[in-house]
Structure 1
Amino acid sequence: MNVYEARLLNRRTVLAGSAALGLAGAIGTAGCSNEGRGGGGASNDEASRSKVRPAYVRYTGVEADLAGAEYNIPDAFHRYPANPVKVISEPPGDGKPIHATTYTNTPIPPKLEQNRFWQELNKQVGSPISVSLTPSVDYTQKFATAVAGDRLGDIFMVGGVPQIPQLLAAKATDLTPHLSGDNIKKYPFLANLPEVAWNSGIFDGKIYGIPIPRGAISSNVLYSRADILQAQGLKPEITSAAEFVELCKGLTDRKQNRFALAAAPTQFVRNMFDMPHTWAEKDGSLVSYLEHEAHEEVFEILRQLWKSGYIHPDAYSGQNQDLKTRFANGSSPLVLDTFSAWPTYLQTMTDKQARIAIIAPPKHDGSGQGRTWLGAPAIGVTAISKKSEDRVETLLKYLNYLAAPFGTQEYLFRKFGIRDVDHTLADGNPVLTKTGFSELQLGLMYQADSPWTIFLPEKEGSSEAQFNAMKSVCPTAIANPAAGLYSETNVRKGQQLTDAINQVTDDIVQGRKPVSAWAGAVKKWKTDGGDKIADELTQALKSSR
């Protein structure tokens, strides 16, 4: 057992119960999922990053129906190419097993013996793939146990443990000789990943991981069931907080067991007051959004929604999947979620007349449009185990295969599986079957992935609808100034601090504590570690410029 493992083993009880969001959440700022720099002497400031950051070579093999670059959003496509090109000529595997350690946000798939997609994947890769899948909420604890027990896979999504730079140095292969600068061109689909996403895997001038890119698609927005709004004679365009409350009133019908909101729309209401995205720069330092002066007004709105019965009564007692179910079955026509959840809603809504729309946050006082928070460039990083260093090129080829972009045969198979088993063709487009939705949940998208593409074949017009929704809110979305920065204190204490402040938030909204309790809770957050996180991130921000 090395020094890092010994320290980790001593801290495993502290880590129990922490949420796992991959490296992005593990080393992000408190209350959100972002990557960064921090203690322990590690550095990923811009000067060190720029020396090794991989070259960016955009894939141009397919032309988008709706180009998103101008708006900083993904490209959109109405149709999948009728004759997709095969871009990988030889299987990337070497015949030996490839084991991956990662997480999942979906049910565990059928075992290999009952999973035709998995069987075909093994053939296409040229190596048998095995995956240790853990629900994302449990991943940090499982990851810590795997590290301490020396049971990480050949490739692993980095979980939220202390001293991540030291972990990577001890456990991960240094990928710099293979991926820095033009070296990455040997793996063209890894070179197609956005430059900024790589920041999360660079420490001390070395590349330790492959980013899982997301960006704008991971921005949280308010979904609405446009069909239900229309049936109630309601319009999704709201111009003030007061109109939002009235909309929720109009959507709530207790006789039909319908409550407007699947959960409290806390961030949406904060967006009405232009609160900074987690951190704001002020007089050369970073200040937490928790200290924003408008919180009391925000809580008054949220308390009104809860007291009036416009929020589902089980909002604080269920699981995340319950929110999706309430939205899909119409029992809660409004839900806050990321843009990336759109395809899941399309797949789970059984009503063929159901339609999705996004409600943009207005300014609370009716003076214009509010601003949502822009999603982080990456949601995590996949590293290659130092124990598998002799296979590094094979494993990079495998990750390159998983990153094959939209329009290729490889992407079609990875996302939609085997024709007439995992998907059928509807008007020429692949649409997942129930079997496919089950079989494909191998966590491949949390091992490596191509840049997100808007392609929603489940329902005609959905790709354009999501593209236009993103186009309407993302160009003005607020970025987190601490994105890409690392705080060791945040890794050690951030989740604990966030859980505590979230509990006070929930208590205030539900009326168990007065609004005045917020000031004391923020003061405690600051003294318990929030101020130290701010100081570490401020220093990291200064050194990155």
Structure 2
Amino acid sequence: MGAFEMRPVTRRTLMAGSLALGVSGTVGACSNEGRGGGGGGNDEASRSTVRPAYVRYTGVEPDLPGAEFNIPDAFRRYPADPVKAIEEPPGDGKPIQAMTYTNTPIPPKLEQNAFWQEFNKMAGSPVSVNLTPSVDYTQKFATAVAGDRLGDIFMVGGVPQVPQLLASKAVDLTPHLSGDNIKKYPFLANLPEVCWNGCIFDGKIYAVPIPRGAISSQVLYSREDILEKQGLKAEVKSADDFLELCKGLTDRRLNRFALAASPTQYVRNMFDIPNAWSEDGEKLVSSLEHPAQEEALGVIQKLWKAGYIHPDAFSGQNQDLKTRFSNGSSPLVQDTFSAWPTYLQTMVDKQGRIAIVPPPKHDGSGPGRTWLGAPAIGVTAISKKAEARVETLLKYLNFLAAPFGTQEYLFRKFGRQGVHHNVVDGNPVLNEKGFSETQLGLSYQADAPWTIFLPEREGSSEAEYNAMKATCPTAIASPAAGLYSETNVRKGPQLTEDIDGIVEDIIQGRKPVSAWAGAVKKWKSGGGDKIAEELAQALKASR
């Protein structure tokens, strides 16, 4: 098999978990809370013939293997002589239009972007990218659908009737990707089997997943260097212990607040609150109904009243909390494991050190449990208007999924040596030009399985690997991972907004903790119970 290793296809693993404060489950394929639902794709015979084969890439040996712990492999060094994975450019010379979102600043235009120009040469086609900030993407996607202006390839947004939309607007990829057919695109075959959950509807494959998995689990980061100066450690044994840590880190004279934003999920992890849903026989019960929710909200309310949470926590943008952590004005922040490289790159104090604070049980009786991240962050479909070029576009997506250790991955992530990155201790490290120009949203079109590789600072790969190893094996998965609910797509965003509003009101003291029960009752009658019913039906059908 060379650099690839066949692995048997197993029953779909339930890995994902919502990271939202309120409603979780399906909000559309963009958030990967939508396993292919309904129809023939859910019976065992259909799944065994439709689901793509998994052929694991083994071309590079990890320094720290992660499979045993359900975490990514980790690497200390990029191979000195990376292999060329793709002999011919995947493009056909004609333009490729991609539509997706971004979580970073918009890059320079093609004319001023050396990386983009070189990328087009490697792709074999001029690639144009319609980028939208992630928070605005669903609205932009809905507008594009209504105006019939989807790109040749597009990340699917959280709009109603996703199965019907894909059947109408996207190419049926089943003949190209089902079973062993996917071996023509070996780097798509290298994507973990569970990632395909949100791509299969009614027995047909309509999209390619963008893998993430455990790396998208949310944890509490700490500025270990600041804690050390205060004589504190990045570990707590109980909820009271956590309050004391936050007290020790808060200093109004220095305009420093312990927490960059509300640590809502982190505190919930202290109380073993389920990851979005839990099973009760054949029913699904929302974690919003868990009896410990009020006690958890009470703890966060104390943090706010004491002034340990940044006063702009509920009024700023997502980037603001990252800035507070990076400049040290808030030494604690809740974020995903995937944010680790961004914090290293943006740290104001280049000697600043990162650590993870695992959640304890609230009562000090042992370790808490975090929520396991989703197996994929989205799916990318190919427009029916581009059906005549489907093989070219699949080759392009396969090119974007070339794994760690290849020349293609090195260029995609780090650009050209001396232009976009410098070699430090044998490793590529992005410079300012590279960080700016490479942000084309490529990893939100298609991507290789995530790897832990942090060349910015010696020892960082081991640090993140060990943090994930200590947290992820016991993380709580959601039984609703990959399930599709039409009611959740239609009503979920508003229900989530309402619940999150109550959470904010309680935390900031505008409403008492007792207001939670009424809010959950309203959520249930307003569509929550229907969502639970639809997800339970989808779960039963998928087994």
Common fold: TM-score over 0.5:
yes
SS in structure 2 at match of 1:237: coil
Shift of 1:50: 3.0
SS in structure 2 at match of 1:58: strand
Could you tell me which residue of structure 1 aligns to residue 245 of structure 2? 247
Q: CA–CA distance in 1 between the matches of 2:414 and 2:351?
A: 24
Could you tell me which residue of structure 1 aligns to residue 399 of structure 2? 401
Shift of 1:437: 0.5
Q: CA–CA distance in 1 between the matches of 2:33 and 2:253?
A: 42
Contact 1:209 1:384 in 2 (8 A): yes
Shift of 1:268: 0.4
Q: How does 1:6-155 map to 2 (within 5 A)?
A: 26-27=27-28, 34-37=33-36, 44-45=41-42, 47=44, 48-155=46-153
Contact 2:270 2:368 in 1 (8 A): yes
Could you tell me which residue of structure 1 aligns to residue 492 of structure 2? 494
Contact 1:28 1:490 in 2 (8 A): no
Deviations 1:123-165 (A, max 9, x none): 0111000000000110111101101111100000000110000
Q: CA–CA distance in 2 between the matches of 1:428 and 1:544?
A: 47
Could you tell me which residue of structure 1 aligns to residue 322 of structure 2? 324
Residues 458 and 499 of structure 1, relative CA distance in 2, 3 Å threshold: same
Contact 2:138 2:158 in 1 (8 A): yes
Q: Which amino acid aligns with 2:362?
A: H
Residue 540 of structure 2 corresponds to residue 542 of structure 1: yes
Could you tell me which residue of structure 2 aligns to residue 471 of structure 1? 469
Residues 43 and 26 of structure 1, relative CA distance in 2, 3 Å threshold: farther
Could you tell me which residue of structure 2 aligns to residue 512 of structure 1? 510
Q: CA–CA distance in 2 between the matches of 1:93 and 1:28?
A: 26
Shift of 1:353: 1.6
Which residue, out of 432, 452, 473, partners 1:454? 452
Q: CA–CA distance in 1 between the matches of 2:49 and 2:159?
A: 27
Shift of 1:25: 5.9
Q: CA–CA distance in 1 between the matches of 2:79 and 2:348?
A: 27
Contact 1:28 1:483 in 2 (8 A): no
SS in structure 2 at match of 1:474: helix
Shift of 1:372: 0.2
Contact 1:214 1:451 in 2 (8 A): yes
Shift of 1:236: 1.3
Deviations 1:209-250 (A, max 9, x none): 000000100000000000011110001121100000000000
Contact 2:29 2:158 in 1 (8 A): no
Shift of 1:43: 5.9
Q: CA–CA distance in 1 between the matches of 2:182 and 2:327?
A: 46
SS in structure 2 at match of 1:95: coil
SS in structure 1 at match of 2:226: helix
Contact 1:373 1:478 in 2 (8 A): yes
Q: CA–CA distance in 2 between the matches of 1:45 and 1:197?
A: 16
SS in structure 2 at match of 1:484: coil
Contact 2:26 2:484 in 1 (8 A): no
Q: CA–CA distance in 2 between the matches of 1:396 and 1:229?
A: 48
Contact 2:26 2:488 in 1 (8 A): no
Shift of 1:36: 2.5
Name the TM-score, length of structure 2 as normaliser: 0.94
Contact 2:96 2:128 in 1 (8 A): yes
Deviations 1:249-281 (A, max 9, x none): 000001011000001101000000001100000
| Unmatched runs of 5 consecutive residues or more in structure 1 | 1-18
Contact 1:273 1:363 in 2 (8 A): yes
Q: Which amino acid aligns with 1:455?
A: F
Could you tell me which residue of structure 2 aligns to residue 197 of structure 1? 195
Q: How does 1:117-516 map to 2 (within 5 A)?
A: 117-516=115-514
Residues 237 and 292 of structure 1, relative CA distance in 2, 3 Å threshold: same
Q: Which amino acid aligns with 1:45?
A: N
SS in structure 2 at match of 1:466: helix
Deviates more, 1:280-289 or 1:398-407: 280-289
Contact 2:32 2:379 in 1 (8 A): no
Identity %: 77
Q: CA–CA distance in 1 between the matches of 2:377 and 2:122?
A: 27
Contact 1:28 1:487 in 2 (8 A): no
Contact 1:77 1:455 in 2 (8 A): yes
Shift of 1:283: 2.8
Q: CA–CA distance in 2 between the matches of 1:411 and 1:27?
A: 28
Q: CA–CA distance in 2 between the matches of 1:194 and 1:44?
A: 18
Q: CA–CA distance in 1 between the matches of 2:381 and 2:501?
A: 34
Residues 274 and 35 of structure 1, relative CA distance in 2, 3 Å threshold: same
Contact 1:107 1:441 in 2 (8 A): yes
SS in structure 1 at match of 2:125: coil
Q: CA–CA distance in 1 between the matches of 2:129 and 2:29?
A: 26
Contact 2:39 2:202 in 1 (8 A): yes
SS in structure 2 at match of 1:512: coil
Residue 526 of structure 2 corresponds to residue 525 of structure 1: no
Q: CA–CA distance in 1 between the matches of 2:153 and 2:29?
A: 21
Shift of 1:516: 0.7
Could you tell me which residue of structure 2 aligns to residue 12 of structure 1? none
Contact 2:98 2:128 in 1 (8 A): yes
Q: CA–CA distance in 1 between the matches of 2:93 and 2:252?
A: 59
Q: CA–CA distance in 1 between the matches of 2:453 and 2:297?
A: 37
Q: CA–CA distance in 1 between the matches of 2:262 and 2:40?
A: 38
Q: CA–CA distance in 1 between the matches of 2:49 and 2:531?
A: 27
Q: CA–CA distance in 2 between the matches of 1:106 and 1:33?
A: 20
Deviates more, 1:336-345 or 1:295-304: 295-304
Name the TM-score, length of structure 1 as normaliser: 0.94
Shift of 1:325: 0.1
Contact 2:50 2:174 in 1 (8 A): yes
Deviations 1:518-543 (A, max 9, x none): 00000000000000000000111111
Q: Which amino acid aligns with 1:137?
A: V
* Matched positions, count: 520
Q: CA–CA distance in 2 between the matches of 1:446 and 1:321?
A: 18
SS in structure 2 at match of 1:89: coil
Q: CA–CA distance in 1 between the matches of 2:413 and 2:267?
A: 35
* RMSD of equivalent CA atoms: 1.5
Residues 28 and 239 of structure 1, relative CA distance in 2, 3 Å threshold: farther
SS in structure 2 at match of 1:99: strand
Q: Which amino acid aligns with 1:34?
A: E
